Chains A and B, each alone.
Chain A
């Protein structure tokens, strides 16, 4: 009795409130530009997330790049940025190469012009996150890219997941980027320590045999540690090689004499140099000064753009390296030729793998967005996660839904002697393309847990 009384009394009040609330909502929705009559769909299925929908409501969508333009990785970062610039230009101009990647690109993506904004990260995680935060505040970027240091990639992965904005890792060699530090909002196109190790390992064993002694040089952060571990694991388990010393140096070391003295006294036959960027240039040059090269055989498991140009072919001749791309693959792959030609026309040199990685990462994103028909991040993520076969400069590839790593070939190259170079950029000879499936770990082997969509 008392219950029915209560109900009778309160129902009209609640009903009135609800009507008022809904009315206010409708009125409010019509005031927001672009909300209009489809406001209901957003409100129920797709609440605003990250910079969506604000970032894609104007005539232009922005991509924020944080690449090193100063410091140890400046040379590689600059090359990577040029690849990104070219990709954006191709998206906006319907270039035939971009059309091969993303047929639905039409003077931009989904009717919006694409613009790249970039800042110097100096390969420092804090600086990179700050730069991206500024781009979010000022430009409402809908996509972030950059790294050229896995320490940055890991930091931006976490930042992307927190901010719910898509992130492409660019150059990042650490197993962790799509391993234990993987995120739902992050994707990596390029090769990495584990794939490099499993691709170059068999070549080393075939050429140099079993039970050899190796000295490692490792930069002191996630890329260095995971790559050295992957290479050493392969060589010790498969061929009984022994790591006699591992010289770990901080990023940005200039004088490697102390490390090289330890290596000179280690009795190693091989110098496996995992250092990268200017660290690799200086450590390799100084290894020669100390007489370690050519006494020991140099191996570069994770190739460095411009290394051969900077140290000269005398030091890289005969050296085995694993890489993402080398321009002479244009002879075999028509898309690679189109890329090398248009890059060279714009920038006056043949692109290295940083530029290739920047370009292809963007081209894949353009495809995913245009195929999904939406900038809504979870839609784009699900499009990647379909794992469809898509083009790259080196044939068909796909992204693994479990860890967002692109399954793509690893290129094995060997340094050419100066006398064999056909032009002044003909530093490496491509020996083999190792298919991605053969060299990748199981998707969960490195502890990847992607996290939430929203």
Chain B
């Protein structure tokens, strides 16, 4: 089935998957870049966004309400987690940070399993975005097309906050050198809390907007977490544009390889990551000297 129609369809799949990965990865990468904490609970945050959105959807019947509730809830979870737990790990070795975020991820997943069970939950897309759209050479699910737009808007919003606001400037300065930012008299801890909240919100928002595509279950974030790490490594750790580029590359690699043999999709993704690590260890858009 290697023909042009299939190739273009697969490129489209790659774009949608890539955009979603870009959004989740950007959350992970700004947290790591600013705080220096590799958040292994990021997949669980993605999952929590889906569940919070689902609860809001079942009560309101509105997808928009679900999307807002899902993202805000996870942002609050992020802020609370940072204040109560993560903050005490900044000065501790990276292994401790990995362990505590890994543990948090397990707690979130099992808490959701306890309250909601393992049966998957579906959130339907808004009525105008249901069904399929003919694109001439192929048909494509309308909501997936819309998802591309939704995620693009979210990434632009994140870009605006990071590159066009004062807060964003401080965050970017924190990514480059948090000690210097601190010594300039800026309350770096408040910024850290905010960054953790925004990073978590990006995952939560991705979790709820992805729910109409992949119905949610407690484990939904596990696989995403692995792919997100690959994206961050390819794009460059701590780089927002790198996360976007890495996401799109990962999405296209997975989709186009699957046209030839789906069994090799993930193999090729890891091959790409290995190549990047060998040829450009700091990632495609990673800056030199950044930890």
A residues sitting closer than 8 Å to B (CB atoms) are: 69-72, 74-75, 78, 220, 245, 247-250, 252-255, 257-259, 261-262, 264-266, 278, 281-282, 285-286, 289-291, 306, 309-310, 312
Contacts and interface: CB of A to CB of B under 8 A. Distances in A.
24 contacts: A72-B219, A75-B119, A248-B262, A252-B222, A254-B223, A254-B224, A257-B13, A257-B255, A258-B10, A258-B262, A258-B265, A262-B258, A262-B259, A264-B9, A265-B5, A265-B138, A278-B217, A282-B120, A282-B214, A289-B141, A289-B144, A290-B141, A309-B119, A310-B119
B266 A264 contact: no
B93 interface: no
A265 B3 contact: yes
A261 B13 contact: yes
B196 interface: no
Interface in B13-50: 13, 16-17
B55 interface: no
A75 B215 CA distance: 14
A254 B220 contact: yes
B254 interface: yes
Given A257-B13, A262-B1, A289-B132, 5 more contacts: A253-B223, A262-B258, A264-B139, A265-B9, A290-B140
Interface in B101-155: 109, 113, 117-120, 122, 131-132, 138-141, 143-144
A306 B262 contact: no
Given A245-B1, A257-B16, A261-B10, A290 B119 contact: no
Top 8 A-B residue pairs of the complex, sorted by shortest distance between their CB atoms:
A258-B258, A74-B118, A289-B141, A291-B132, A257-B13, A261-B9, A75-B118, A265-B6
Contacts of A264: 9, 138-139
Interface residues of B, number: 42
Contacts of A259: 258, 262
Nearest to B121: A310
Contacts of A278: 120, 217, 219
B286 interface: no
Contacts of A266: 1
A289 to B, nearest CB: 4
Interface string B228-256: 00000000000000000000000000110
B144 A310 contact: no
A75 B217 CA distance: 10
Nearest to B16: A257
